[in-house]
Amino acid sequence: MPFIILDRDGVINFDSDFYIKTPEEFLPIPGSLEAIAKLNRAGYHVLVATNQSGIARGYYDLPMLHRIHDKLRAELKKVGGVVEEIFFCPHHPDEKCACRKPQPGMFYDIQKKYGIHFADVFFIGDSLTDMHVAEVVGCKPILVLTSKGEKTLKNNPELSVIPQYANLAEAVDAILSVPSDSN
């Protein structure tokens, strides 16, 4: 059973410098939900790994985060898609926790729960921290140029060796165009 891990903000939905604090502020990037549904139809189990320091900063609480994720799941269901689980780090960056990307704790939790081998797993993100955690755990990184992606690439030219796509939909099309035994 193949897995794929996605960052949330900037990959699935539009990001905001002011944080996504309510379900109303959760706005999917065009084509992203359909891309997840396409992965599901191709047999992929989709997981999400997202930093959510807005909780520690007091911008929203855990019940509100669950409401935001309920909206994600409801919107996905409308297009025939599903995420298996959403892993998140609620901590402030100053807490220096083990789960906040680029630290690998969240990914080790995923590995422990699902028994996956990261060498077989794509991780799609839009930030330097996303690319760093993929490198640390041994996932196959993909950088999408939505949200922080273009700036991330511009400020970190060494990332030019990582596959890049305009958005999640293009990344998914590229993944699915390769025979599954070489994924």
121: left (phi over 0), alpha (psi -120 to 50) or beta: beta
The average confidence (pLDDT) of the chain is 96
Is residue 183 predicted with pLDDT exceeding 60?
no
* pLDDT tens track for 39-95: 999 999 999 999 999 999 999 999 999 999 999 999 999 999 999 999 999 999 999
**DSSP assignment of 106-148:** HHHHHHHHH---GGG-EEEESSHHHHHHHHHHT-EEEEE-TTT
Domain 29-39+50-117+129-146+157-177 classified CATH 3.30.1360.170? no
Task: Give 180's pLDDT tier (boundaries 50, 70, 90).
Answer: low
Confidence of residue 1 (pLDDT cuts 50, 70, 90): confident
For the chain, which residues make up each domain, given as ranges? Answer: 29-39+50-117+129-146+157-177
Give the H/E segment covering residue 163.
none
Q: Residue 35: which pLDDT band, with cuts at 50, 70 and 90?
A: very high
Name the band, by pLDDT with cuts 50, 70 and 90, for residue 178: confident
pLDDT in tens, 2-25: 999 999 999 999 999 999 999 999
Q: Give the catalytic positions in this structure.
A: 7, 9
Q: What is the pLDDT of residues 94-140, one digit of tens each?
A: 999 999 999 999 999 999 999 999 999 999 999 999 999 999 999 99
Q: What is the pLDDT of residues 142-159, one digit of tens each?
A: 999 999 999 999 999 999
**Strand, coil or helix: what is 8?**
coil
